[in-house]
Amino acid sequence: MAAFVREPERAYGCKMMEALGIEPGGGVVPRLSLLYSAIFRRCQSCPTKKLCREWVDHAYPATLPPGFCANADALFELQYRQLADGS
């Protein structure tokens, strides 16, 4: 069962992924679903939501996740996996 995440947090998580060139729908892939779920859960309790919104609104395209993001490591891992898979 998927974890409940409010839509604004999920929307900004998806927008950040898109800005980084990560396929937001990749969470349906079984080997990645836990990582995507963790990312969206962290977005839900993020203490830097305002800073995130500003980054998302002005960062297209971006090469690296922002340092303030609690998901920076996970997002970088998704970028690496996507490149390694040739997607």
pLDDT digits (tens, 9 = 90+) for 43-67: 888 888 889 888 888 877 788 899 9
pLDDT single digits (tens) 66-87: 999 999 999 999 998 888 876 5
Whether 32 maps to a domain, the answer reads: yes
Q: Is residue 45 part of a domain?
A: yes
Three-state DSSP at 14 gives helix
- Alpha-helical (H) ranges within the chain are 7-19, 30-44, 49-58, 72-85
pTM: 0.79
Domain containing 57 equals 7-85
Whether residue 71 lies inside any domain: the answer is yes
Would you say residue 72 lies in a domain? yes
Q: What pLDDT does 15 receive?
A: 85
pLDDT at 9: 57
Any domain includes 2: no
The domain total for the chain is 1
Answer yes or no: is 48 within a domain: yes
Judge whether 68 lies within some domain.
yes
